Amino acid sequence: MRTSKVTVIPILQYVLHERVHRWCFCQSVILRLFMPPQNTTTESDRSDEDLVVAYRNGDATCFKTLLERYRNDLWHFLARLTGSRAAADDVFQEAFLQVHLSADSFDAERRFKPWLYTIAANKGRDFLRRQNRRAATSLSSPLSKDGDGTFGDLIAGDSPMPSAPLEGQDERNTVSRVVDSLSAHYREILVLAYFQKMSYEQIAKTLEIPLGTVKSRLHAAVASFSDAYKRADTKAVTK
């Protein structure tokens, strides 16, 4: 029985279509099996710890991501600690230089932030020791040569210190004098707790002191601030 050309052509088209379809399907399966998956996670989505590991493995862009991620918070911490914008700039750079130098020693199983703040706090203490005078951390001193505000103004723009109202210039000046009168280790722990809002555990890692010491020192710092503020407030009323 003879098959007409009209009948053969649709059959051939169907066979060819099926073969092309199977070939495309097999190719897609092979690609999925043997090609590495594409990483759709951006650097901004990666954890600090992943960025440090990637940086020490040769990805230099990860260091820039870390620097930008902490530029604002860490700089303000250092400005409060040192009492100087210029010093905060310098110490910030020193801290990240140390991060670069010590990246290979970082334990990726631990959190990066306390490690970074430990480095920054140590660099800040080094700066204060180099100044060799208490005025280096004065809250009432200008933040720049142009006199554009004081360290006390910088504090007033953020969270208030414990038990101290900040309404009005008089209150701000009182807070500035009181915090300035505190010892360096009291001022340091208040900044970490009330401005950086670190937990006890994070403060312990940052300052490299036992957890019990953090609790007792913070309690003493708040009490010292509260007593000094009350005395200053009483003097202001009696004048």
Per-residue pLDDT reduced to its tens digit, 62-109: 999 999 999 999 998 888 788 788 888 999 999 999 999 999 999 988
Residue 45 buriedness (CB in 10 A; 0-12 / 13-18 / 19+): exposed
The DSSP annotation for 182-202 comes to S-HHHHHHHIIIIIS---HHH
Instruction: Pick the more confident residue, 108 or 2.
Output: 108
In the beta sheet, which residues pair with residue 142?
Answer: 150
Architecture per CATH, domain 46-137, reads as: Orthogonal Bundle (1.10)
Domain-wise residue ranges, the chain: 46-137, 165-239
Q: Which CATH class is domain 165-239?
A: mainly alpha
pTM flag (> 0.85): no
- What six digits make up the tokens of 105? 């020693």
| Residue listed under structure tokens 């970074």 | 116
pLDDT score, position 229? 82
Instruction: Pick the more confident residue, 223 or 21.
Output: 223
- What six digits make up the tokens of 20? 């092309």
Sign of CA dihedral 148, 228, 160, 191: positive
Residue 78 buriedness (CB in 10 A; 0-12 / 13-18 / 19+): buried
pLDDT in tens, 102-160: 999 999 888 999 899 999 999 988 888 887 544 433 445 444 445 555 444 544 444 34
**What does DSSP assign to residue 148?**
-
